[in-house]
Amino acid sequence: MKKSAAGAILAVAFTAVSKASTGNSNLTVPPGAVYIDPLMYDVVGASYTKWRNLSSVGFNPTNTAPPFIQVFDPSFLEVTGPSATIRQIASNPGFSFAHEAPIYVPDLNVLFFSNTGSGPLSYSGWYNNSVISMINMTEVEIALASTTGNVNIQVETVNLPDTLQMVNGGTGPYKGDLLFVTSGRALLPPSVVLVNPNPPYNATVLLDNFLGRQFNSLNDVKILPGTDVIYFTDPSYGYLSGFRPEPMLPSQVYRFDPSTGQVRMVADRFVHPNGIAFTPDGTTAFITDSGMGGGFLGTNQTLPSTIYQYDVDPSTQLLKNRRVFAYIDSGLPDGIQLDTMGNVYSGCGEGTHVWNAQGTLIGKFYLNSTSAQMMFTKSGLVILNEEAMYFVNIQAQGIDLAAS
């Protein structure tokens, strides 16, 4: 096939997709959303010129200007609803203020989160701690209701005790408190910490070692539904990002029972275990392996960029029967959340990707930049995007992450 012929065929395909996205087919999508029919891209031909040889390059065959919603399966419309849009709600160019550890407190209608622990825009590292901030979602909702465009709500810094060094994961509320895991900084140990969500934001360290050995750099945390038991991941990103010593433990996942003090490893065989989540009944766990991203070692696209699924043993609460749930086509999977319909959300290289319970990619909230985490609030989905935060007024609702 000649190059010109291949280009003409692809142009027809792109036009067909555009028609679908504007409602000229049986599929009606939200305003500005784009329907990507997988059948149109299964074969592109040897003369195709837009090969994505780098996973950092997003899949945007329609060349739609971000941010926008990509629909890969009609079932994604049950997530978005008929009028979902992506709008910026906070921005601070030059500072990666919105990275990880989102915790939504419904009683306050406030979202807490942390900035990144490394990189030139984080202003944190071996000698400097990261920052915890919060945004008032009531102010966000009022501002969004007053305009059809973006807004920029003031983000408030939370002054936490020095016992919290490089917060990277968060969940809860846990018995009324914020539950954070820290990566540690320099020789200061990683830890599991409870923080009062109200001033003076006093903190209680629950765990900072594995039988006398420092963890590597704790990354993410979730509560096993129906229990008080805490699970967390421990990759070596602190070392790879230059703010922690060389790791002294394998990259693993741990179970911690605060009532007994018992901590044990429950899953291994990762390169970099990252995000973690459970189904609401506590029978299934999801863990992301962002092994492709190697910090100062660089990117290795042959290493995992994968979400794994496990069964939770009902008697031991170990994680067993590991299997692949999804492989990420752009970037790597970081934080992970679930909605009440069983769909799985993960922060990836282009924004937030969404799979159904069977592991089929059904849609993306496409920002064209890396988004590590996201969190449901009572009014929609907030996406953390380093120098900015976005809000999507979807109809899907997140599962309850609280432990009473």
Give the model's pLDDT for residue 281: 97
Phi/psi at 361 (5° precision):
-65, 120
Give the model's pLDDT for residue 309: 98
Mean local confidence (pLDDT), 396-402: 97
pLDDT at 4 over 80: no
Q: Which of 54, 48, 65 is nearest to 13 (CA)?
A: 48
Residue 126 confidence class, pLDDT cut points 50, 70, 90: very high
pLDDT at 242 over 50: yes
In angstroms, rounded to a whole number, what is the distance separating the alpha carbons of residues 43 and 85? 31
Average per-residue pLDDT for the chain:
93
Instruction: Of 13-17, 95-99, 315-319, give the lowest mean pLDDT range.
Output: 13-17
Give the model's pLDDT for residue 340: 98
Residue 8 confidence class, pLDDT cut points 50, 70, 90: very low
**256 to 117, 162, 304: CA distances (angstroms):** 24, 23, 26
Mean local confidence (pLDDT), 273-298: 97
Give the model's pLDDT for residue 50: 84
Beta-carbon contacts of 185 under 8 Å, excluding residues fewer than 6 positions away, are: 117, 124, 126, 129, 165, 166, 238, 243, 244
Give the model's pLDDT for residue 5: 37
Q: Supply the pTM of this predicted model.
A: 0.93
Mean local confidence (pLDDT), 75-89: 97
pLDDT at 158 over 70: yes
Give the model's pLDDT for residue 31: 93
Instruction: Of 24-28, 103-107, 180-184, 365-369, give the lowest mean pLDDT range.
Output: 24-28
Q: Which of 175, 148, 93, 151 is nearest to 382 (CA)?
A: 151
pLDDT at 3 over 60: no
Could you tell me how far CA 375 lies from the centroid of its own chain?
8
Give the model's pLDDT for residue 14: 37
**For the chain, how many residues are written?**
404
Give the model's pLDDT for residue 118: 78
pLDDT at 12 over 70: no
Contact, 251 vs 242, CB < 8 A? Answer: no
pLDDT at 21 over 80: no
Give the model's pLDDT for residue 13: 37
pLDDT at 15 over 80: no
Mean local confidence (pLDDT), 364-375: 96
- Fold annotation for 34-41+57-393: Neuraminidase (2.120.10)
